[in-house]
Amino acid sequence: MYKIVWIYTLLSHTYILLLNVICPVIIIFSYAAVVTNFEGNAHTLRILTKLHPSIDKYSMNLTAALLNTLVKYPKDSMNFNSKDADIKNHKLGYYFFEQDEFDRITMLTTTNFNSDIARHPLTYILEAADDIAYATADLEDAHKKGLFSLQEFESFFNDQIEEYKLNGSMGTEQ
C-alpha cells in the first residue's frame, strides 16, 4: 500500500510540475506567434473587436459579415500554412487570442461547416478591390516618376483591348 501511495504522490507531483512548466511554455509560444507573425488583417480584427466594441449607439456596431470579410484567411496565428494547397490556409486571419470572437463571427455568418471554415463570400470582392486599388496606386506612382507618359499608357491600354477583342485574352508580354 505504501508503494501505491508513494507512486501516486510522485506522479501527482510530476503532473503538477509538468503543468507548471509546460503551460507557461505553451502560453509563451502562443504570444510568440502573435509577435512574430504580424498580419494587418488579423490586427484589424483585434482592433475592431477590442478597441471598438459594440456597446452603445455611438459605437461602430460593425456586422458579423463585415468582420468576417476582413478575416481574409480563416486561420489563427498558430495554424496557418503558407505552403498549403488551399489559399485560405496561406496566412493567418486572426490571432489565437481572438478565437472566441472568431467562432462567434463564423457562427453568425454560417461560414463554419463541421470545423471547416469557409471564407466569407464578400472576401473575394474585398481582395479584388485591394488589387485594383494597389495596382492603380502603383501606376500613379510610376507615372509621377516619369516611367511612362499618359500617351504611352493610353496606347498600351488600347492595344490590350484590341488583343482581347481578337484573341479573348490580354497580352502581357510588353
* Residue-range domain boundaries for the chain: 1-36, 38-119, 132-167
Q: What pTM does this model have?
A: 0.66
Rounded distance, CA 45 to CA 147, Å? 38
Q: What angle do CA 124, 126, 132 make, to 5 degrees?
A: 105
Amino acid at 115: S
Q: State the DSSP string of 58-120.
A: TS----HHHHHHH--S--BTTT--TT-SSGGGSS--B-GGGHHHHHHHHHHTT-EETTEEPPP
Specify the amino acid at residue 114: N
Running along the chain, 174 residues long, what does each successive block of 10 average in pLDDT? 52 60 62 66 85 77 91 82 79 86 93 85 94 95 95 94 85 54
What is the model's pLDDT at position 33?
A: 59
